[in-house]
Amino acid sequence: MSGISIITVENRRLYPVKAYDTEENNEITPIIDIDSVNDLLNRRKKIFFISNQYDQYGRELDNFYGYIGSEDIKTLFYVNEDEVNNNLSAVMTLSEAAKKWGFSDGSTIRKAIERGKFEKHEIKQAGDIWITTYDAMERVFGKIKNEENELIIYDDFESNLYRLFLKDVQRDYLRENVRERHLKENELLYNDIKTILKSALVTIKKGNKVIIKSKRSNKTKQVINTERELIVFIELFSRRNFMTEQRNKQLLEDLKKI
């Protein structure tokens, strides 16, 4: 199932978008066809949108209710619901993709588009803005430049996060005689996770990237360039039920000491 998504000039992601023509009498039906939304934007200076809202890293923000004009929109496009649920940051503008692949700007990617290097489903255009995905960038340009100098974290790391989450949740329900041993096991697992993320932070402080890859396919799922991106990546653990909120706060506090 597909829906409309908007990337605003502030790099907020809105999805799924519903637009309303508030100047029409008794108009209560949302407009969910992209051509109709574009037509309405051309006829009105601003139109009313209701949508879930996320930042560029996939962190959920307050729901959006309000007016947006065409000058506020970087791009407007159809997106697959499953892709959005898996990873909102998988969709990138060309400037974002260029930064992650180490290009000076998006011109290299634009030239590849002009030469037909991308498949039709791998790129989308809305106005002057093009968007693409990690899978498309990796197919066309291969691995990220100097990837051997970057830190690779495979997504099976998430299974350790989830194991710790389950063990932390179970902790309060354990009998006294097994609780102490259980707590020691939790701390060992937590320290393993913390060690990996400390390495990630040190890597970024040295000016290198952290690359999240699929263990099964070796495809790139996410590229983390900055400390802020890494912190947001970690903050999402508790929201995705990979870590309890208390443990998540502990991890962030421990990383601040580095």
13-50: per-residue pLDDT in tens? Answer: 888 888 888 765 545 668 878 888 888 888 887 888 99
Query: From residue 3, how far is each of 17, 52, 78, 170, 230 by CA, in Å?
Result: 7, 12, 5, 38, 28
| Res 86 pLDDT > 50 | no
Alpha carbons 149 and 208: distance in angstroms, whole number = 7
Q: What band does 217 get if pLDDT is binned at 50, 70 and 90? A: confident
CB-CB contact of 161 with 248 (8 Å): no
pTM: 0.66
For all residues of the chain together, what is the average pLDDT? Answer: 83
